[in-house]
Amino acid sequence: MSKPVVLIAEELSPATVDALGPDFDVVNVDGTDRAALLSALASANAILVRSATKVDAEALAAAPHLQVIARAGVGLDNVDIKAATAAGVMVVNAPTSNIISAAELTVGHILSLARHIPPAHGALAQGQWKRSKYTGIELYEKTVGIIGLGRIGALVAARLQAFGVNIIAFDPYITSARAQQLGVHPVTLDELLEQSDFVTIHMPKTPETTGMISAPQLKLMKPTAYVVNVARGGLIDEADLYTALVDGTIAGAGLDVFVNEPPTGSPLLGLDNLISTPHLGASTDEAQEKAGVSVAKSVRLALSGELVPDAVNVAGGVIDPTVRPGIPLVEKLGQVFSGLAAHSPLTSVDIEVRGEIVEFDVSVLKLAALKGIFTNVVSETVSYVNAPLLAEQRGVSVRLITDAESPEYRNLITLRGALADGSQVSVSGTLVGTKQIEKIVEVNGYDVEVPFAEHLIVMLYTDRPGIVAVYGREFGEAEINIAGMQIARHEAGGEALSVLTVDSPVPAALIASLREAIAADVMVAIDITE
């Protein structure tokens, strides 16, 4: 029997090939040579890439035997995950390979800004001795604000402790106990911006976080303050940042990531008070080797039919076919759950699985729930292996509860959580019919039946005439089409819960104005990612 073919499309460390072992035929190809790539994919069972090789629908169509795509790194912009999932191809990456490198680069940017290291070197290289021009500041006793206390944000905090700085942080999903454990003081975003001498951002890029630092936020900062972004391009509005740097609204900025990469023609690159690097967060020998070895191990697991913890789209491996369709359902329930819980840190979550499915091992559904909950919460890629760790780091207790009794549905999965402000949230879902249609059937104790969609809106308000007309008119004026709607209530004139599916994302400003217009207790927009 011939060995499975593993295609290596970009230069990877020798340790990566060693980690694959002797059980595979390893074939090398230049992934940027499209014709050569498509030809080589015809016999490939697995492909290992970095960032230059595009694995899109065309590439997948040329790979009838492909079982796994392995990205030796964190970002997956060059992999069409949706097309891979539709083709039944597993996608894996190395979610923790670069966290130390990214944290250290963040500290490097902060030090470079404080002491003007790059421009001072540039002047000296041109024969200019300008000591007074490049007088800097000490970090000691300065305030550093960290936006996002995920794995990288926590590592940045730990490394900055040695400089004797005061560390404050904004993370709506972190508990005060976890913040205390990290030695940071939790504050609101506005308080962080107003108080910090240095601001560093470590958030995922979602519709809610894109442009989260723009003109209004930059105006809150001290004129002597600096902002650093090594996370994702677009978290800081680049046009507003340019204006703030030119006008002296803030003292300077350090960027490793940009909206368009390379940022050819960006006016930011011509500013003296901007320090920039070409997306070097993961560009260390150690990070590259960790990434390669990690995904090589995942490829071995995938091709041997075992559970792959770092799979980002499907769990794979020894999971009963009866359980497998529930995995994407539970991940989506997790995203809805985190949207409902965004107003306060999560302290505990129960994953309740009911029905005949509990005859099988459903432990993967616990992992899928946590993966969904943290997908749009943390900056790093969330997988089955790091999701429980993310919960542990945030002080979130997690239980899997199973019960063979399910009176209303053949199988029912509920995510139920307690929040730090004393409130509770819950969302339930099931698979309906022979086509296994994913539906939400309960939200915060209200019975609904809503098929999943990419864009959801959940609102809770006092039931009274005219409410539907209000938000219908507002959405119409904003050219947002309502695809579906369900209203649930316990009694007339009491609280009513509406779940809407819409065809496009809803701006945060519209959500805020609608909440005020109908005096809603809850008004959240939730965007589901595959």
Q: What is the mean pLDDT of residues 142-166?
A: 95
Tell me the average pLDDT of the chain.
91
Q: Which residues have a Cβ under 8 Å from the Cβ of 461 and sit 6 or more positions away?
A: 467, 495, 496, 498, 518, 519, 520, 521, 522
Q: What is the mean pLDDT of residues 373-380?
A: 81
The catalytic position among 232, 300, 354, 394 is 232
pLDDT (0 to 100) of residue 318: 56
3-class DSSP state for residue 15? helix
Is residue 232 annotated as a catalytic residue, yes or no? yes
Q: What percent of the chain has pLDDT over 70?
A: 98
Active-site choice (279, 354, 394, 416): 279
CA–CA distance, 370 with 365 (Å, rounded to integer): 9
Phi-psi region of 148 (alpha: psi -120 to 50; beta: other; left: phi over 0): left
Sheet with strand 522-527: strands edge to edge: 482-489, 495-502, 455-462, 522-527
Predicted pLDDT at 363 = 87
Contacts for 264-271: CB closer than 8 Å, 24+ residues apart? 266/238, 267/242, 268/238, 268/241, 268/242, 271/242, 271/245, 271/246
CA-to-CA distance for 101 and 230, rounded, in angstroms?
A: 11
pLDDT of residue 316: 53
Q: Which of 279, 287, 241 is nearest to 263 (CA)?
A: 279
Is residue 41 over pLDDT 80?
yes
Q: Which architecture, in CATH terms, is 320-452?
A: 2-Layer Sandwich (3.30)
pLDDT at 262: 92
Rounded distance between C-alpha atoms, residue 484 and residue 268, angstroms: 43
Query: Residue 315: what pLDDT?
Result: 52
Q: What is the pLDDT of residue 46?
A: 95
How is the chain split into domains, by residue range? Answer: 1-93+283-318, 99-276, 320-452, 453-530
99-276: what CATH class? alpha beta
**pLDDT, average across residues 117-145:** 95
pLDDT (tens digit, 9 = 90+) per residue, 82-122?
888 778 788 999 878 889 999 999 999 999 999 999 999 99
Mean pLDDT over residues 438-446, rounded? 94
Domain 453-530: CATH superfamily, name plus number: ACT domain (3.30.70.260)
Which of these, 201, 98, 99, 188, lies nearest to 144 by C-alpha position? 201
Can you read off the two tokens belonging to residue 16? 């990566």
Instruction: Give catalytic status of residue 300 as yes or no.
Output: no
Give yes or no for residue 21 having a pLDDT over 80. yes
261 is catalytic: yes
Mean pLDDT of 206-233: 95
What are the pLDDT digits (tens) for 223-269?
999 999 999 999 999 999 999 999 999 999 999 999 999 999 999 99
How large is the average pLDDT for residues 516-528?
91
pLDDT tens digit sequence for 395-438? 899 999 999 999 889 899 999 999 999 999 999 999 988 788 99
Q: For 1-93+283-318, CATH number?
A: 3.40.50.720
Cβ atoms of 151 and 392 within 8 Å: the answer is no
Convert the pLDDT of each residue in 315-348 to its tens digit: 555 567 788 789 889 999 999 999 999 888 899 9
Q: Return the H-helix or E-strand segment holding 120.
A: helix 117-125
The residues, ordered by sequence, that sit 6+ positions from 445 with a Cβ below 8 Å of its Cβ are 426
Nearest residue to 480 (alpha-carbon basis) of 450, 457, 449: 457
pTM metric for this prediction: 0.71
List CB contacts of 486: < 8 A, sequence separation 6 or more: 448, 449, 450, 498, 499
Residue 131 has pLDDT above 70, yes or no: yes
DSSP secondary structure string for all residues of 333-350: HHHHHHHHTTTS-EEEEE
Q: 85, exposed or middle or buried, with CB in 10 Å at 0-12, 13-18, 19+?
A: middle
Confidence of residue 39 (pLDDT cuts 50, 70, 90): very high
Which of 138, 141, 261, 516 is an active site residue? 261
Give me the mean pLDDT over the 41-56 stretch: 94
Report the pLDDT value the prediction gives residue 130, as an integer from 0 to 100.
92
CATH topology identical between 1-93+283-318 and 99-276:
yes
Confidence band of 385 (pLDDT split at 50, 70, 90)? low
- Given pLDDT bands bounded at 50, 70 and 90, which one contains residue 314? low
Distance CA 336, CA 355 (A): 22
Residue 324, phi-psi category: left (phi > 0), alpha (psi -120 to 50), beta (remainder)? alpha
